[in-house]
Homo-oligomer: A and B are copies of this chain.
Amino acid sequence: MSELWFPPSERPRDECGVFGVFGHPEAAQLIYLGLYALQHRGQESAGIVTSDGHTFQSHKGMGLVGDVFDEEVLRGLGGHLGMGHVRYSTTGTSGLKNAQPIVMDYAHGPIAVGHNGNLTNARAIRDELEAAGSIFQGTADSEIIIHTMSTLRLASERDALLRMLQIIEGAYTLMILKPDVLIGVRDPHGWRPLCLGRLDGAYLLASETCALDLLHAKYVREIEPGEVVVISESGLESLFPFGRNTPRAHCIFEHIYFARPDSRLFGEVAHLVRKRLGAECSREHPVEADVVVPIPDSGNSAAMGYAEASGIPFDFGITRNHYIGRTFLQPQQAIRDFGVRVKLNPVRETIAGKRVVVVEDSIVRGTTTVLRMNSIREAGAKEVHLRVSCPPIRWPCHYGIDFATRGELVAANKSVEEIGEFLGVDSLGYLSIDGMLRCMNTNADSYCTACFDGDYPVAVEGEIDKYILESDRRQEYLRFS
């Protein structure tokens, strides 16, 4: 047995989910439930802040929502407004210090901020603030946002907020809580989703509609890119401080992989988009085969689309183990691909002797994929044809997705043919960029495709990785002199 080991995930991981409530006597409980529905957006830490109009109550912890909160904790989170956050880290290393929402007390009183996305100029802002005497607790973007508002020294907090939004750059969906106000912000390009709901007179803000469904809440609309909604006793006020001309750059990966299949975002339902991606893939890369098998569960929708479009029967050829926790011990020797097998096991009888089309939603490093393909081959597949329902990922994401660096992206370093050889499959077909965009019925020109084509809507200096804020910015610490 080696050290504690996190299964090497091929999955691009989105960083966060947010959920806010204004005007419900059981605000904390609604937030708690809403976070359950958004748990797929972040499993590292969870936090809730509530307010009774005057005072904040807050609780955060590492782990899943169900582990972080219990009844006693929730009872302590009184009040009729509040917000919650689930997090996987993008900027800033793990740890409770960076868990969100970040709650601080500053010149304008208490404030809490939860953030989904990645500020592309976080480092520059922080350097400037520190030089002027600001001291940071952690490395979360949310903290930079509050410090920025603080040092502006404006008499009005509203002005400080709007001014701050002109300073920060990049991808962000913000949720800000004041003792008596809930604010939602979506960056002008609209990378990350945010939607508005109503329940029993209360306002709800959520990263995805599946959280509204869980509460039987009414879905009202998406918060628009560049929109700031200020919810208070006076109702909902909508501001557009950036104007309305910024081109859209929705994260297409939300549709390919991140969002729950039952969520509606950017005007479309993820499951249906994925089925179209699979179908389009079958048109671009047809093959003679006996069965279409998904990599469960993220490949299910696309595989079904492929099967329907191609006429090749769909079957569950791989069983998913539902009881794998977040960590397990890696066997020292023997079972090399244990991390893969413990999660997914082929159903030999479905695969043996067959020509199998395997559908994956995406490939990042390729290291897990190669083990999965081996596993299918060992189960007796006569032929293995891998179909990927998105294009090759060749560029890192600067807007909040924790892809690897370029060096680690298999498609940045190998041609499709070479990848096929590396994976040991009989054929490999990636969906094309054009094919992918064709599957977006609405707003097809509104998506960010930077990870596929390197065309970044907002420029960044240097290649950002998530540890940048912690890097040795002063290798030579000033000696005490």
Establish whether residues A151 and B137, one from each chain, have CB atoms under 8 Å apart when the complex forms: no
Chain A interface, number of residues (Cβ within 8 angstroms): 106
Establish whether residues B342 and A75, one from each chain, have CB atoms under 8 Å apart when the complex forms: no
Determine how many copies of this chain the complex contains.
Answer: 4
Establish whether residues B105 and A136, one from each chain, have CB atoms under 8 Å apart when the complex forms: yes
Establish whether residues A297 and B324, one from each chain, have CB atoms under 8 Å apart when the complex forms: no
Q: Give A176's nearest chain B residue, CB to CB.
A: B480
- Mask of A146-168 contacts with B, CB within 8 angstroms, 1/0: 11001111001110000000000
Q: Which residues of B contact A130 (CB under 8 A)?
A: 106-107
Within 8 A of B (CB), among A25-42: 26, 29, 32-33, 36-37, 39-40
Establish whether residues A319 and B260, one from each chain, have CB atoms under 8 Å apart when the complex forms: yes
Instruction: Give which listed residue, B106, B213, B264, contacts A341 with CB less than 8 A.
Output: B213
- Best-buried of A33, A200, A304 by chain B (most CB within 10 Å): A33
Q: Give A149's nearest chain B residue, CB to CB.
A: B133
Instruction: Give which listed residue, B74, B104, B323, contacts A39 with CB less than 8 A.
Output: B323
Q: Give A329's nearest chain B residue, CB to CB.
A: B71
Establish whether residues B261 and A479, one from each chain, have CB atoms under 8 Å apart when the complex forms: no
Known: A214-B342, A329-B69. A319 touches B150 (CB 8 A): no
A134 to B137, CA, bound (A): 12
A180 to B32, CA, bound (A): 46
- Mask of A71-103 contacts with B, CB within 8 angstroms, 1/0: 100110000000000000000000000000000
Establish whether residues A132 and B153, one from each chain, have CB atoms under 8 Å apart when the complex forms: yes
Interface residue A422 (Cβ < 8 Å from any Cβ of B): no
Interface residue A124 (Cβ < 8 Å from any Cβ of B): no
Establish whether residues B480 and A181, one from each chain, have CB atoms under 8 Å apart when the complex forms: yes
A325 to B324, CA, bound (A): 11
Establish whether residues B136 and A151, one from each chain, have CB atoms under 8 Å apart when the complex forms: no
Interface residue A461 (Cβ < 8 Å from any Cβ of B): no
- Mask of A111-146 contacts with B, CB within 8 angstroms, 1/0: 000000000000000000011111111000000001
Known: A151-B133, A335-B33, A335-B214. A323 touches B480 (CB 8 A): no
Q: Give A74's nearest chain B residue, CB to CB.
A: B1
A48 to B216, CA, bound (A): 44
Establish whether residues A66 and B345, one from each chain, have CB atoms under 8 Å apart when the complex forms: no
Establish whether residues A331 and B214, one from each chain, have CB atoms under 8 Å apart when the complex forms: no
Interface residue A347 (Cβ < 8 Å from any Cβ of B): yes
- Best-buried of A26, A108, A146, A334 by chain B (most CB within 10 Å): A334
Minimum distance in angstroms from A474 CB to a CB of chain B: 6
- Best-buried of A179, A320, A332, A345 by chain B (most CB within 10 Å): A345
Known: A332-B29, A477-B54. A131 touches B157 (CB 8 A): no
A27 to B46, CA, bound (A): 37
- Mask of A209-249 contacts with B, CB within 8 angstroms, 1/0: 01001111000000000000010100000000000000000
Known: A135-B105, A329-B69. A37 touches B321 (CB 8 A): yes
- Best-buried of A36, A200, A262, A271 by chain B (most CB within 10 Å): A262
Minimum distance in angstroms from A106 CB to a CB of chain B: 5
Establish whether residues B271 and A157, one from each chain, have CB atoms under 8 Å apart when the complex forms: no
Chain B interface: which of A8-16, A282-290, A308-316, A391-399? Answer: A308-316
Known: A37-B342, A71-B329, A329-B69. A133 touches B150 (CB 8 A): yes
Establish whether residues B478 and A108, one from each chain, have CB atoms under 8 Å apart when the complex forms: yes
- Best-buried of A261, A328, A477 by chain B (most CB within 10 Å): A477
Q: Which residues of B contact A158 (CB under 8 A)?
A: 480-481
Establish whether residues B230 and A321, one from each chain, have CB atoms under 8 Å apart when the complex forms: no
Q: Which residues of B contact A321 (CB under 8 A)?
A: 36-37, 39-40, 260
Establish whether residues A328 and B108, one from each chain, have CB atoms under 8 Å apart when the complex forms: no
Known: A29-B332, A180-B479, A341-B214. A313 touches B308 (CB 8 A): yes
- Known A-B contacts: A108-B480, A180-B480. Give 7 more (CB < 8 A): A105-B136, A133-B133, A214-B342, A260-B319, A260-B345, A264-B349, A271-B349
Q: What are 11 A-B interface contacts by the 8 Å CB criterion?
A: A33-B335, A33-B338, A33-B342, A66-B326, A66-B327, A106-B135, A134-B150, A210-B319, A232-B480, A262-B348, A271-B347
